A and B are shown apart, each in its own frame.
Chain A
Amino acid sequence: MVEMPAPKQDVLDRASAIVRDLTDLIPEHCVISSEQERRAYEADGLTAYRQAPLVVVLPETTDQVSRVLAYCHQHGIRVVPRGSGTSLSGGALPLEDAVLLGLGKFKEILDVDFANRCVVAHPGVTNLGITDAVQHEGFYYAPDPSSQIACSIGGNVAENAGGVHCLKYGLTTNNVLGVEMVLIDGTIVRLGGKHGEPEGYDLLGLLVGSEGLLGVVTEVTVRILPAPESARAVLLGFPSAEQAGDTVADILANGIVPAGAEMMDGPAIRVAEDFVQAGYPTDSEALLIVELDGPEAEVEELLSRVSRLAESNGATFERVSHDDDERKRFWAGRKAAFPAVGRITPDYYVMDGTIPRHRMASVLTRIRELSEHYGLGVANVFHAGDGNLHPLIMYDANDADQLHRAEEFGAEILRACVEAGGVLTGEHGVGVEKRDLMGTMFNDTELKLQNRVKCAFDDEGLLNPGKMFPTLHRCAELGRMHIHQGQMPFPDLPRF
């Protein structure tokens, strides 16, 4: 288990005074301090880690967020921001001595602007809520993480969420035009906006994916797109993952950029089919779902080219969607792959490495070897178009040894991804989960530079501590000195 920073005893001692102060700053109904209610916030999507927060605040306005943060900054109190709590990496894991700042009451769509093709929304609006607000005019919001029914747009910004369509339409970072954010000292800053093009440092680009370590987003402006004329998906079954991987490489090398290109391995195909009846070939060892969109004539033409490439790589199954319902059913199986795996194992642990596509077969072989070595089953779903792997390691959390083996297995997979020229996380974030593996990708100098960037926003390390950095250095140590009220910031924190 990853160790979290030791709580500040002085903050724990002042807990009831802090609650009182907070209820003076913001309406009483926005402060949750009873133990039972705090428990509801003890974990996010990384359920192996649990910790009730010191107090939960659910502010309703940007001004309230600013007051809470300024107060915490002034009194050296840590803050953990939270959207919908669907993070798979523990990004919103509370700390015993930290205020959990939930954005759940920021739920309004503020502006739907078809002329500028954008939506301005509160961070607590769900990802799908954006599309729901614009689809009557034929528009949609492109990034579509599988949790889109629940995950918030603010959380998407914090994690730079992806989805199954980002090969062609980009990740969150490519679809966010602007934010309003509050810094730890309460300063309200606007980055970007409806004009889109940045000037000065691209702090918006830096903020997206910063996992709640740099600021708290209180408003988001996203780009919306007109839905394509038509979209069709094809299921392609193969005897091996290698053949499926080669097919994806051939598709891209032939100038076709599919709207989505997903892969599932044999175990994932079978559990998903059993759960959703999407029409998957249960005797295949690899399944590709390729979606093409655009004018009907173009989609038709591209489908036949994709099908020829699949056949030349030995595809043994092919099924093209005939209408939108069938296309959505094809995707339903893929999007339900995680819960489907959840039906056959007490717990599962999702990994999220990205590798250069051509290393897919060799990394998959390595995962199979590791599965045998650790004695734990694994099902694999991949965003094949962009090389993003989601091995799902099956284990039983009630068995401490299995949990330990699952974490070791996961870490080995991520090391294999980095060795293959890839990265630790493609879209789920580092959070708590992969924090201690950062050193496999970055050397000490590189981590220190990122730490200095953190210090530029939060010089006392109060925002979301214990996430992303294996070692959070004192900002003063890194060359800048900000002694607060005669105390060094986080005296207990050189290493945790």
Chain B
Amino acid sequence: MSASDGDPETPAGAANAARPADADELAALVADAHAAERPLALHGAGTKQAVGKPLPPAQPVELSAFAGIDLYEPEELVLSAGAATPMHEIEAALTAKGQELAFEPPDLGPLLGTAPDGGTLGGALACGLTGPRRIAAGAARDHLLGAQLVTGKGERIRAGSRVVKNVTGYDLPKLICGSYGTLGAVTTATLKVLPAAEATRTVLLRGLNAETGVAALTAGLQSAYAVSGAAHIPHAAAARASDRHLPATDTSLTLLRVEGAPKSAVHRAEKLAREVLGAYGAAEILADDASRPLWRGVRDVAPLLGGDGRAVWRVAVPPASGAAVAARLAALDANGRWYLDHGGGRIWLDLPAGADGQADGVRGALRGVPGHATLVAASEAVRRRARVFSPQDAGLAALTRKVKAAFDPAGILNPGRMDGAG
């Protein structure tokens, strides 16, 4: 796999790694590092070390002691677990009770060149990983109710709570989610969980171009039928993934997902196919068995896997601008591939990496459109050279620095992981 082959990322289990046994030990360790201004690199399972900016030399801190589900009350829709709890363990516990993490966190193992199913809860939250269902159920940040963490000063902090409705003090869990371990070392996370849908149906349209595909997705999302996945995959990307996840195709795929009780899912899929999307061609309806792997593929960036020396970008734009921005991105490189998720609002793009992932070209394609581009997967050399996160304007950058300093005044936690953005 391209993204990290041969990269000497700070190796897990390095000789000088610290492995605090509990939160007090972790707090003491961070407090020492704070006093000595010694940088620390936080590790869960180590599967996300290739996301973000490579760190300068730093002492690895293994958070493996913070594993296991501490609390799961299905009727209260709440689960608390150690940050290093494997994601698959959490998913298994939830599945046994017919529930799930509704934000559909992707498994980026295959994209990042690590084994599938290797990630931890803390890693997913630190990276703010969110799947196709964001358009219906929100992102990771919408499901993190509380967290216990150690700040960059070595303070033990409880943020948030275990209840959904809580406005007591600042909403620090939101800030922690997606902060790539630069604000605190999370030891425990408390999440809102939800019942998993019994049935899934996918309405599939073939042969649309991006503009018409996004129009079809928009029509579906504007309907009353509660679309929970809306993706458009051009042929070049669909063809690569078809052996693994997607239906065989010689053209593009436009996909709309509905979920719910079986009768309801069938009803809504038929309404979509017949009444809402009739103008876009003959729609097929895929049942559970075909739908589920397909959306896992969309979630896990399966259409862009494979190839050497590539850079994979995640671009966020207003959904209705997705097709136009994708066209500009496609014009950057004849060997680029891309697909749209979130009704057009998320563009996954894969390009020959060049020296810096073609960062200027990618960000230039967003000119005049609100949004940003994040370099999610590329070799260490490329990430070292590229701006991994979008440059911020002066006001926002100043605020970001001050917020970082509020949690980590010496700048010792995952220093530089987020470029200037954290």
Contact = CB atoms under 8 A, between A and B. Distances in A.
Contact of A198 (B151, B178, B226, B370): B178
Contacts of A137: 222
A445 to B, nearest CB: 5
A227 B221 CA distance: 11
Given A167-B164, A297-B267, A426-B163, A195 B174 contact: no
Contacts of B267: 295, 297-298
Contacts of B114: none
Interface string A210-249: 1000000000000000111100000000000000000001
B395 A159 contact: no
Contacts of A194: 318, 370
Contact of B174 (A138, A205, A446): A205
A30 interface: no
A496 interface: no
Given A205-B174, A388-B165, A183 B399 contact: yes
A203 to B, nearest CB: 7
A427 B167 contact: yes
Contacts of B174: 173, 202, 204-206, 208
Q: Among the interface residues A170, A171, A203, A423, which one has the most CB atoms of the partner chain B within 10 A?
A: A423
Interface stretch (A42-50, A73-81, A102-110, A250-258): A250-258
A421 interface: yes
Given A193-B370, A423-B163, A457 B399 contact: yes
Given A298-B267, A388-B165, A456-B402, A446 B157 contact: yes
Contacts of A67: none
A374 interface: no
B266 to A, nearest CB: 9
Contacts of A64: none
A357 B163 CA distance: 9
Given A199-B372, A425-B167, A250 B263 contact: no
A450 B224 contact: no
A167 B170 CA distance: 21
A208 B195 contact: no
Contacts of B409: 479-480
Q: How large is the interface on A (under 10, 10 to 19, 20 to 34, 35 or more residues)?
A: 35 or more
A175 to B, nearest CB: 9
Interface stretch (A111-119, A325-333, A334-342): A111-119
B165 A202 contact: no
A491 interface: no
B168 A423 contact: yes
Contacts of B178: 198, 201-202
Contacts of A159: 167
A294 interface: yes
B301 interface: no
B389 A200 contact: yes
A452 B168 contact: no
A373 to B, nearest CB: 25
Nearest to A138: B224
Contact of A187 (B167, B316, B395): B395
Contact of A438 (B162, B168, B222, B261): B168
A294 B264 contact: yes
A456 B399 contact: yes
Nearest to B314: A197
A170 B142 contact: yes
A116 B320 contact: yes
A160 interface: yes
Contacts of B172: 206, 449-450, 453
A111 to B, nearest CB: 11
B396 interface: yes
Interface in A358-381: 358
A337 to B, nearest CB: 17
Contacts of B374: 199
Contact of B165 (A208, A228, A387): A387
A195 to B, nearest CB: 4
Q: Among the interface residues A196, A438, A442, A445, which one has the most CB atoms of the partner chain B within 10 A?
A: A196
Contacts of A452: 406-407
A199 B390 contact: yes
30 contacts: A116-B318, A183-B395, A187-B395, A187-B398, A188-B395, A190-B396, A197-B342, A199-B374, A202-B128, A202-B141, A203-B175, A210-B170, A252-B75, A252-B77, A255-B195, A295-B268, A298-B261, A301-B264, A356-B76, A387-B164, A388-B165, A423-B161, A423-B166, A423-B168, A424-B168, A425-B166, A425-B167, A426-B163, A429-B167, A442-B158
Interface of A: 113-117, 137-139, 159-160, 162, 166-167, 170-171, 173-174, 178, 183, 187-191, 193-206, 208-210, 226-229, 249-250, 252-253, 255-257, 294-295, 297-298, 301-302, 354-358, 383, 386-388, 421-430, 434, 438, 441-442, 445-447, 449-450, 452-457, 468, 479-480
Given A252-B75, A425-B166, 5 more contacts: A206-B403, A250-B75, A255-B196, A356-B76, A421-B163
